[in-house]
Amino acid sequence: MPKQKRKFILVLLTLNEIDGLNAIFHKIPLKEVDEIFAVDGGSTDGTLEFYKEHKIKVVKQKSRGRGEAFRIAMKEANDDDVLIFFSPDGNEDTKDIPKFKKYFEKDYDIVIASRMMKKSHNEEDDQTFKWRKWANNAFNLMANVAFRKKGPYITDSINGYRAISKKVFEKIKPSSDGYTIEYEMTIKGLKNRLKIGEFPTHEYERVGGESYAKSIPTGIKFLKLFFKELTS
């Protein structure tokens, strides 16, 4: 059977992001991807109506959480396809979307837009106390020290703005339900000696709506995941 051509699929992840969609959707370089669809966690703020109006296919989750959203997205793809995950809440730069592609031509397995490397901009960079950035850097250090066997230091192990092929995702099978899905993917990638690439990104402020990732409970979940991976 002839091999199917690899597709680059842009996946929009939303839970009540109508403000972000209104502000950002028109900036998405649709011509740079082969397909686009949304995975929605149960929006009630007009997000679903927005998708309908713009003829965007929506996959609706049965249970909430970004982890579930990643897994459901994979069901829509072929093995060789690459899924670029984009959260249209204002934080992520649409100009980066085409940048992921060239890494997969060079056989990278996971590609992360980093808010922590040279030439990056983190949302907190203009603040004196960069609590979230410092905490994230601690998680980065832990993951690299504990699990990196080869390859470069991973500077943004938890960022959601990333791409992965279905084949690689199914190989590492991340099982997190919520916001730890990305950290788990990175750790499992390091454990499996996958080729992980990063490029610098500019993180902007959230546009509207609200964040569901509350810092302390989310941080505790990251710690739990780290120790689970350390002992498994």
Closest CA relative to residue 135, chosen from 22, 23, 44, 219: 219
| CA–CA–CA angle 21, 51, 87 (5° rounding) | 40
Distance CA 194, CA 174 (A): 14
Closest to ligand GTP by CB, 17 vs 81, is 17
Which partner in Mg ion, ligand GTP, none is near 64 (CB below 5 to 8 A by kind)? ligand GTP
| CA–CA–CA angle 77, 78, 81 (5° rounding) | 80
Question: Residue 76, SS3?
Answer: coil
Which partner in Mg ion, ligand GTP, none is near 39 (CB below 5 to 8 A by kind)? ligand GTP
Element (H, E) at 168: helix 166-172
Distance CA 83, CA 35 (A): 10
Which partner in ligand GTP, Mg ion, none is near 41 (CB below 5 to 8 A by kind)? ligand GTP
Closest to Mg ion by CB, 91 vs 136, is 91
Q: How far is the CB of 150 from ligand GTP (least distance, A)?
A: 29
Stretch that binds Mg ion, among 41-49, 56-64, 91-99, 219-227 (CB under 5 A): 91-99
For the record, the structure tokens of 105 come out as: 């031509």
Closest to ligand GTP by CB, 35 vs 80, is 35
For the record, the structure tokens of 45 come out as: 């703020």
Closest to ligand GTP by CB, 88 vs 108, is 88
For the record, the structure tokens of 60 come out as: 């609706």
Which partner in Mg ion, ligand GTP, none is near 174 (CB below 5 to 8 A by kind)? none
Q: How far is the CB of 61 from ligand GTP (least distance, A)?
A: 6
Residues that bind Mg ion (CB under 5 A): 89, 91
